[in-house]
Amino acid sequence: MVKHPIFVVMIEVLNLVNQSFPQFYESELREEISKVGFIKDVDEGEHIMDVGQYVKTIPLVVHGKLKIYREDEGGNELFLYYLNSSEACAISLVCTLHNQISQVRAVAIEPTQIIAIPIEYMDQFMMKYRSWYQFVVKTYGERLNEMLRTIDSIAFKKMDERLIAYLENTANAIESDVIKDTHQNIAIELNTSREVVSRLLKQMERKGLVELSRNAIKLIRK
């Protein structure tokens, strides 16, 4: 007997939820997600959410990594935080609750797979399932703390402190001490100039904190 394609997709979604989101302890919730959610494979560099767009789905990251950016009216970007497997974007959750346009951009920094849940199920899940409610509250709290750290960094830290913190956070996120990026891109994410980033990296290299090569920075951990 040949299984219907929709049934096959449901089983695949259910397996991914079971593997990546054990915090959803109600079997009914996992089954509902398998019925309404769909799998999306995202290429490196692809945007899954952009500034000014209405959020139509809630992305649950199965594997891979996303970078979340804030953009001002002048088009300048500021890096906020990473999203890893078993996580969701708190800002997308807020937008779905209030039918607001997105104020952030989400970009895959490596091949990433997500389960996308249509926003109309957000309220239903919040009311019906304790584990979904706990997941949303935990996601809000974690992302709020990360954004507060970003604000504190901008308000209270010197640029060299912000730069080393950025490199450490990036190395931890990609699980590698070699960060393959340009000085220009780093400057954009820190909302400063390429010249400042290059000068500070040279100073860090002289202090033995980093090793510089073309479009790559190796963080020296002590």
Query: So what's the pLDDT on residue 133?
Result: 93
Residue ranges and CATH numbers for the domains of the chain are: 5-152 (2.60.120.10), 157-219 (1.10.10.10)
**CB 74, CB 128: distance < 8 Å:** no
Is pTM beyond 0.85 here? no
Question: In 3-state terms, what secondary structure has residue 207?
Answer: coil
Statement: residue 3 has pLDDT above 50: no
Question: Average pLDDT for residues 96-120, to the nearest whole number?
Answer: 86
**Residue 2 confidence class, pLDDT cut points 50, 70, 90:** very low
Q: What are phi and psi of 109, to 5 degrees?
A: -100, 0
Burial of 117 (0-12, 13-18, 19+ CB in 10 A): buried
Statement: residue 6 has pLDDT above 80: no
Question: Per-residue b/e over 18-53, b at no fewer than 16 CB within 10 Å?
Answer: eebbeebeeeebbebbbebbeeeebeeeeebbebee
**CB 139, CB 87: distance < 8 Å:** yes
